Amino acid sequence: MLLHVAVYTSTLILATIFYGNALSILSILTVFVTHFIIDEMKAKQAIIGLWQDQLMYLLVIVFVVAITQNHP
């Protein structure tokens, strides 16, 4: 599970660098920890559908982007 979350987070980091931005350490940790929590919830079947976890991932990314846009 940790490897999956690390790959997901590193892909997000590379994408932001490619587009000329950089994520702060706090943003990276937020994405990493929340992705891990969401995946654990899905593994324990607290999240039923595929769309529920995808929506949660998207909301986390939108939140991180919104925060970093206001506080560089």
Residues 16-57 pLDDT 10s: 888 777 778 888 899 999 999 998 888 888 777 778 889 999
The pTM (predicted TM-score) of the whole model is 0.78
Tell me what pLDDT residue 32 has. Answer: 93
Reference 30, options 1, 65, 70, 55; nearest CA is 65
Tell me what pLDDT residue 51 has. Answer: 87
Tell me what pLDDT residue 37 has. Answer: 92
Other C-beta atoms closer than 10 Å to the C-beta of 13 total 15
Tokens 């997000």 correspond to 12
Judge contact between 22 and 16, C-beta under 8 A: yes
Vertex 59: Cα angle to 19 and 42 (nearest 5): 115
Is 80 exceeded by the pLDDT of residue 67? yes
